[in-house]
Amino acid sequence: MITRQIKALLAGFAAIATLCAAPAIAEDEARYAFTQDYEPAPALWRLSDEDTTIYMLGTIHLLPKGFRWRNPDLDAIIDAADVLVVESNDFDGSGSLDVVAPKIAHLLQNRTPTSQQLSAPAKARWRELVAQSGQPFAYVDAMPVMVALMGFGPTGPGSELSSYDYGVEAVLEREFIESERPIESIEDFGRVLYSLYHANDAEMVKELDLHLRKWSREPNRGLYGAAQDDLVGDDYWAMEHAWARGEVSDDFDLGFGDGRIGKAFREILLNRRNRRWAGWLEERLDQPGTALLAVGAGHFEGPDSLLVWLKQRGLKAERIN
């Protein structure tokens, strides 16, 4: 299943994933209740020159209702920003998807369904895995492996309590719209999506076959990592708490292992995007004013982070909290 780390990485897929979640029930709300006995202070950086200031906020795209992440200093920055920059806003995202839709349709028309490429043991388990996602088998089976893995959506107890509506970008976008301030996109979401469709699918199928044959088949346990059925309360929300406290890791694990699939995800979702974003930010410094960049927190972690790519361009982003 899609890893919870995606909540800190890819806004477009986070929005799609939340559509797959079931409505929360009272039992789950009690089991996964959280407490915040700290003042939230998500990591913030400042990139600036003589007439331009770009504040960079690492975000989580899906959050539970009532999860606090704001503080007076952050509110002041939000109020001072002339423009909000996100990964992809609804208008830009729809337009870019329209452009790549014919290309994606062509790829799907010429693709052999995943089940027909798998060994007999893996084929049966593939059906079980897709069934856990609750999506139509024929639809998922037609998708390239990387797209299928991301599209499963969060599953298991507690997953339905997070929503894109409560995520950082959704909240900020509503505020900027209400105050009639512009919202820009730092990337073309359609381009990122097409990269996932266009990856070497044959290699991914081979690795999928291997993982399926090793899969434990336990409910709510995906192909990678352990199930989180035993995590409740604040333990379940450890990633969200760490983010809200401003913790930044030296690495960022997407949760897809170190094989072909994991390396491809890291290249497409992290390396390429961070490299392009660094170039975008360098050019953006030529525009006077104050901007707030709000993108997944995972982009600020690890050896290929956005911060590293900025440094390679001779630009230093200063951590301000």
Query: Quick one: tokens of 282?
Result: 């360098």
- Coil, strand or helix: which one is 31? helix
Query: Quick one: tokens of 101?
Result: 């839709």
CA distance 277 to 270: 10
Strands (E), 138-276: 162-163, 183-185
Report pLDDT for 128. 92
Q: What is the CA radius of gyration of the chain?
A: 20
CA distance 10 to 192: 10
Query: Quick one: tokens of 127?
Result: 């059906």
Tens digit of pLDDT at every position of the chain (321 positions): 445 565 556 665 555 544 444 444 555 778 899 999 999 999 999 999 999 999 999 999 999 999 999 999 999 999 999 999 999 876 665 567 788 899 999 999 999 999 999 999 999 999 999 998 888 999 999 999 999 998 775 555 566 788 999 999 999 999 999 999 999 999 988 888 899 999 999 999 999 999 999 987 765 556 765 555 578 899 999 999 999 999 999 988 888 888 999 999 999 999 999 999 999 999 999 999 999 999 999 999 999 999 999 999 999 999 999
Query: Quick one: tokens of 120?
Result: 């007999």
Count of CA atoms in the C-beta half-sphere (13 A) of 295: 30
Report pLDDT for 258. 87
Report pLDDT for 1. 40
Identity of residue 20: C
